[in-house]
């Protein structure tokens, strides 16, 4: 049917449709982003081995997940003197989030989303090997 419409009508309709899609996309993006970021950071909060430092360029915030640096060097656990655990040499890993779309990509596509975000420059990590050892 669109083949029968003259360009005088087709162009404004196509332009209006593009504007409507853009407006709907921007309205729906914020809730999707908030949900994705909350879900991913709640999983980061479960990290038990190693420390993940997430630096978010968009918000300017830095969050630490997992073992705290001070706790790693302490010999006291729950008020009882104990030997430090051997073999947990993961340490601290920094993840720089350059674009907010990383959170949605990671939430929807997990490991493939992380790989795509890395390739697209949405995130940066100096030591990917240590990042994947954090658990």
44-76 pLDDT tens trace = 999 999 999 999 999 999 999 998 755 444 444
Q: Domain residues of the chain, as ranges?
A: 2-133
Instruction: For residue range 11-36, list pLDDT tens digits in order.
Output: 776 666 666 556 656 667 888 899 99
CB 130 within 8 A of CB 87: no
Query: Is the pTM above the cut of 0.85?
Result: no
Rounded Cα distance between 27 and 94, Å, is 31
């Amino acid at each position: 049917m669109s083949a029968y419409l003259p360009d005088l009508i087709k162009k404004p309709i196509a332009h209006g449709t593009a504007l409507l899609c853009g407006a709907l996309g921007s309205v729906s993006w914020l809730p999707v982003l908030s949900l994705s970021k909350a879900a991913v950071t709640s999983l980061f909060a479960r990290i038990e081995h190693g420390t993940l430092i997430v630096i978010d360029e968009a918000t300017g915030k830095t969050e630490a997940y997992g073992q705290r640096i001070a706790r790693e060097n302490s010999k006291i656990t729950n008020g009882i003197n104990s030997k430090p655990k051997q073999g947990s040499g993961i340490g601290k890993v920094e993840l720089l989030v350059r674009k907010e779309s990383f959170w949605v990509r990671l939430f929807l596509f997990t490991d493939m989303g992380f790989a795509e975000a890395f390739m697209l420059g949405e995130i940066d990590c100096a030591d990917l090997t240590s990042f994947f050892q954090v658990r």
